Structure 1
């Protein structure tokens, strides 16, 4: 089997099955008779641009790029409601999010994995996250969008 056939099989498998890990994906390929090792699967995942999305079960699973964008954005909202206690705009396209002590890293990871189109990246400390807005996005607009998630959870 060549690389193109293997990658086509990977795309089909992630559409048909809830696969969460590289090992699960490699196992599914082997069950279909493809001789693969986990390092090859890892490289294929990167080349295909597979992303993790939240399945209805709540479990993170692989999906093709662009699949589940709404789910990924909902996951950011859920993480904001769970961990964030404050959001404010700062100079230079930076948004500052505060969390209880020890939760900034978990929230930053959720934001990064969510692939928000307006966010270039995050930098987390113990209880503070700096979020860099992409070019053309103001810190105030991004702050308003992220802060709206906090209001969604309010009664």
Structure 2
């Protein structure tokens, strides 16, 4: 077996996760072995943890994925649901929006807005029941409000 450093091993694991369906740590141990790299299941488990990889059910099977593999569609669908369920009001305010939610819900919605990576949104700041949404320079405030209202309605 070839001695390989942790960084190189983790890069190989990350590449395998991004390019295919890896369903178990044992499968990764076997792939590493085929590549001439000795690693135990415990080592692979620590590598996955450090890489931030997690298991996700897709297309009827469970597999490991990297954090950057979360599809925009998944984030958009989650945002649509959260906007519909938790946003009471969307108020335009200059180059910002103010979203009102029930108490304790703002952080959940703000995280979903950030994860959806809407080009016109620079970022969010959440309190308990209020979210400030900063728009990028030149963003059409009315168009973003319209987009969020359509998402709330499930359109």
- TM score, norm. by length of structure 2: 0.66
2:85 is matched with 82
Q: Helix, strand or coil: the match of 2:138?
A: coil
Q: Which has the larger radius of gyration?
A: 2
The structure-2 alpha-carbon separation of the partners of 1:41 and 1:78, relative to structure 1 and needing over 3 Å to count, comes to same
1: CA distance, partners of 2:85 / 2:145: 17
Match of 2:13 among 9, 34, 47: 9
CA contact (8 A) 1:75 1:110 kept: yes
Task: Name the SS for the 1:16 alignment partner.
Answer: coil
Partner of 1:24: none
Instruction: Report the 3-state secondary structure (helix = DSSP H, G, I; strand = E; otherwise coil) of the residue aligned with 2:151.
Output: helix
Provide Cα deviations, 1:115-153, integer angstroms capped at 9, x if missing partner: 333221111111110111123322222111111112228
Alignment of 1:99-114 (within 5 A): 99-114=101-116
Structure 1 residues 124-133 or 27-36, which shifts more? 27-36
Structure 2 CA distance for partners of 1:62 and 1:107, relative to 1, 3 Å: farther
> C-alpha displacement at 1:67, in angstroms?
5.5
Q: Is the 8 A contact 2:17 2:65 kept in 1?
A: no
Shift of 1:83: 0.9
Unaligned 5+ runs, structure 1? 19-26
Q: CA deviation at 1:90?
A: 0.8
Corresponding position of 1:22: none
Normalization by structure 1: what TM-score? 0.66
The gaps in structure 2 that reach 5 residues or longer are 30-38
CA-atom RMSD in angstroms:
3.6
